[in-house]
């Protein structure tokens, strides 16, 4: 990429990934960011006022003349989004940012790629891009080289994976982020229903320690708790506490069984 020329980025979509990509590009020199969304909405307003991006709800000439397109929409809308793009610049590259969609969702063009940041994005919470792994895939070597340069403007950790590897990584991300967060929600609900004086916050030092423990150790080796030590007395008390909550009770039993199995595997 030439340093002196402004590169034009078009982001399709206005969700959390679009937001954090746009925010980062807006802070870089030599990039102009345009947001396309099929209809005007309140989110686009934030892109204009807070990130100073241009936005559009129609595919006009400006949008058609970009260097890089990021399709940041739900998987099932990627293929219809890509059809709207009819780039003037034949060297422009079209990417999606999904961990779970094949590169072929972008069609049969050559200038296509995947740019999947392995991260959880919420609009209001800052992201440390530099540490966030970016998983890439491309059809052509020349395209791959270009998106590696682009990805390195975000992260020190750019990884090239095929679809199957990326999908497994995406599933792993769901386990460690989405499911972990849902356990945090469940724990907060439990605590706050039982006592007016204790709140979810009381769990934060434990949660932080859970992560500190795995920074330098294999998670299997630092597992603790009643399931790990086959402590039926304690597990029965917990299950009794959950008698009114069938789904959490099931999850309790199954995750306890998973722990037992995982610990057996360790010694196998």
Judged by CB under 8 A, the chain residues 191 through 250 that form the site for a second copy are 191, 194-195, 197-198, 200, 202-215, 217-229, 231, 233-234, 237-238, 241-242, 247-248, 250
Residue whose CB is less far from a second copy, 43 or 222:
222
Residue whose CB is less far from a second copy, 56 or 133:
133
Q: Which of 28, 50, 131, 145 binds a second copy (CB under 8 A)?
A: 131
Question: What residues pair up with 114 in beta bridges, in sequence order?
Answer: 96, 137
Q: How many residues sit in the footprint of a second copy (CB under 8 A)?
A: 98
- The pairing of strands 134-138 and 112-117 is antiparallel
- Which helix or strand (DSSP H or E) is residue 221 part of? none
Residue whose CB is less far from a second copy, 86 or 205:
205
Q: Which of 41, 89, 142, 178 binds a second copy (CB under 8 A)?
A: 178
Residue whose CB is less far from a second copy, 3 or 76:
76
Q: How far apart are CA 63 and CA 40, in angstroms?
A: 15
Q: Does 186 bind a second copy (CB under 8 A)?
A: yes
Residue whose CB is less far from a second copy, 76 or 267:
76
- What does residue 44 show for φ and ψ, rounded to 5 degrees? -60, -35
Q: Does 164 bind a second copy (CB under 8 A)?
A: yes
Q: Does 48 bind a second copy (CB under 8 A)?
A: no
Q: Which of 161, 264, 267, 268 binds a second copy (CB under 8 A)?
A: 161
User: What distance, in Å, lies between the first and last C-alpha atoms of the chain?
Assistant: 52
Nearest to 203 by CA among 261, 211, 4, 36: 211
Q: How far apart are CA 241 and CA 191, in angstroms?
A: 12
Smallest distance, a second copy to C-beta of residue 152, A: 16
Residue whose CB is less far from a second copy, 122 or 142:
122
Q: Which of 49, 128, 244, 264 binds a second copy (CB under 8 A)?
A: 128
Nearest to 258 by CA among 228, 224, 218, 225: 228
Q: Restricting to residues 5-44, which ones interact with a second copy according to CB under 8 A?
A: 16
Smallest distance, a second copy to C-beta of residue 113, A: 19
- 32: CB partners within 8 A, 6+ apart: 6, 7, 8, 9, 54
Q: Does 79 bind a second copy (CB under 8 A)?
A: no
Q: Is 39 helix (H, G, I), strand (E, B) or coil?
A: coil
Q: Does 80 bind a second copy (CB under 8 A)?
A: no
Q: Which of 27, 58, 91, 177 binds a second copy (CB under 8 A)?
A: 177
On whether the CB atoms of residues 256 and 236 are closer than 8 A, the answer is: no
Q: How far apart are CA 244 and CA 240, in angstroms?
A: 9
Residue whose CB is less far from a second copy, 43 or 190:
190
Q: Does 255 bind a second copy (CB under 8 A)?
A: yes
In this structure, what token pair is assigned to residue 40?
Answer: 């005007």
Q: How far apart are CA 81 and CA 76, in angstroms?
A: 10
């Amino acid at each position: 990429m030439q340093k002196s020329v402004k590169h034009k980025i078009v982001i399709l979509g206005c969700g959390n990934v679009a937001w954090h990509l746009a925010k980062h590009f807006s802070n870089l020199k030599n990039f102009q960011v345009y947001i396309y969304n099929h209809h005007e909405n309140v989110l686009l307003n934030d892109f204009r006022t807070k990130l100073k991006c241009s936005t559009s709800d129609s595919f006009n000439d400006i949008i058609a003349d970009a260097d890089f397109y990021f399709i940041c929409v739900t998987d099932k809308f990627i293929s219809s989004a890509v059809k709207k793009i009819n780039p003037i610049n034949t060297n422009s590259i079209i990417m999606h940012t999904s961990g779970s969609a094949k590169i072929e969702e972008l069609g049969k063009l050559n200038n296509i790629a995947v740019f999947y940041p392995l991260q959880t994005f919420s609009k209001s919470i800052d992201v440390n891009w530099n540490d966030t792994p970016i998983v890439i895939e491309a059809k052509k070597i020349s395209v791959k080289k270009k998106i590696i340069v682009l990805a390195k403007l975000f992260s020190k950790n750019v990884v090239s994976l095929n679809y199957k590897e990326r999908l497994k990584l995406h599933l792993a991300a769901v386990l460690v982020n989405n499911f972990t967060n849902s356990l945090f929600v469940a724990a907060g609900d439990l605590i706050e229903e039982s006592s007016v004086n204790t709140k979810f916050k009381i769990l934060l030092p434990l949660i932080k320690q859970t992560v500190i423990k795995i920074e330098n150790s294999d998670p299997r080796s630092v597992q603790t708790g009643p399931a790990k030590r086959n402590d039926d007395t304690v597990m029965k008390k917990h299950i009794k506490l959950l008698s009114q909550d069938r789904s959490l009770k099931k999850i309790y039993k199954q995750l306890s069984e998973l722990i037992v199995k995982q610990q057996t595997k360790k010694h196998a």
